[in-house]
Amino acid sequence: MSKKHKAGRTDMHMSKPMTHKPEDPMSRPNNRRNILYALVAGTVVVIALGIFVPQKKPSGGWVPYDEARPAVAQFSGARVLTSDAPSFDFGRISMAKGKVSHRYSIRNSGATPLTITKIFTSCMCTTATLITPSAKKGPFGMPGHGWLASVSELLAPEELAQVDVVFDPAAHGPAGVGPTARTVTVLNDAGLALELRFNAMVTP
């Protein structure tokens, strides 16, 4: 046999296609599981970086709202300024007989002093005056109807004060006849605002 024929037979022998081992179907769940573990691990790392890496505060003197508030205001969810009787019903009252009044008793029910900062009413027909053993401040009215003055009155723990509320049933004329409800809001620096309410049935 010639060298040419021998070389041809050798080339034919070397050019046989190579066979590939089929993929094991059982390996696919393992691959997916490994990918899932990698995603979970990456998420945990990102969350950990967000928690433990200190964040730079914005420049220019601006402070986020939550940081700007006093510490006591951030956590004050309790009502420290209280009233044993925050609601009152005048019943039937007549415009012709003029103004009526009621005095509410309020108390600092907390363990530390608090400051009453502002008092305002829900309507121009109503005014409120704060009365303490040391001072009498007011009357205070509805925001937008005159200057809303600051009260700045300190109450010691368990100290009592009074809020004298005056209602003028004739302030709205004939339109004021019928059932009426008004609110006096007392703000303080130690907890939730105190709301004092009254109802009345106004007649001519």
Instruction: List the alpha helices (DSSP H) in 53-175.
Output: 65-68, 71-75
C-alpha 155/C-alpha 110 separation (Å) is: 10
Name the residue with tokens 């009357």. Answer: 139
> According to the model, what pLDDT value does residue 191 have?
82
Instruction: Please say whether the beta carbons of 162 and 138 come within 8 A.
Output: no
pLDDT of residue 68: 31
- Whole-model pTM? 0.61
Q: Is the dihedral of CA 130, 136, 137, 139 positive or negative?
A: positive
Helix or strand holding residue 82 (H, E): strand 81-82
Note whether 161 and 82 are within 8 A (CB).
no
In this structure, are residues 150 and 140 in contact, taking their beta carbons and an 8 Å threshold? no
CA dist 140 to 11, 21, 122, Å?
Answer: 109, 91, 11
pLDDT in the model for residue 15? 47
Averaged over 166-173, what is the pLDDT? 96
To the nearest whole number, what is the mean pLDDT of the chain?
Answer: 77
Asked if the model's pLDDT at residue 66 lies above 70, the reply is no
> What's the maximum distance between 2 C-alpha atoms anywhere in the chain?
140
Does position 183 have pLDDT exceeding 50, yes or no?
Answer: yes
Please determine, for residue 167, whether its predicted confidence score (pLDDT) is greater than 80. Answer: yes
DSSP E strand boundaries for 122-177? 126-131, 136-140, 153-155, 160-167
Instruction: Please provide residue 112's backbone torsions phi and psi, each rounded to the nearest 5 degrees.
Output: -130, 160
Q: Which pLDDT band, with edges at 50, 70 and 90, does 113 fall under? A: very high
Query: Cβ(169)–Cβ(126) under 8 Å?
Result: no
Q: What percentage of the chain has pLDDT greater than the value 70?
A: 61
How much is the average pLDDT of 99-110? 96
pLDDT interval class at 67 (50, 70, 90)? very low
- All domains in the chain, ordered by first residue: 75-203 (2.60.40.10)
Which residue(s) pair with 188 in the sheet? 116
Local confidence band at 149 (pLDDT 50, 70, 90 cut-offs): confident
Lowest mean pLDDT among 62-66, 109-113, 131-135: 62-66
pLDDT reported for residue 157: 94
State residue 44's pLDDT score. 58
Q: How far apart are CA 96 and CA 88, in angstroms?
A: 21
Confidence tier at 123 by pLDDT (50, 70, 90):
very high
Burial of 128 (0-12, 13-18, 19+ CB in 10 A): buried
Q: Which of 162, 178, 168 is nearest to 145 (CA)?
A: 168
Name which of 60-74, 150-164, 168-182 the model is least confident about: 60-74
Terminal CA-CA length for the chain: 136
What's the length of the chain?
204
Q: Given pLDDT bands bounded at 50, 70 and 90, which one contains residue 182?
A: very high
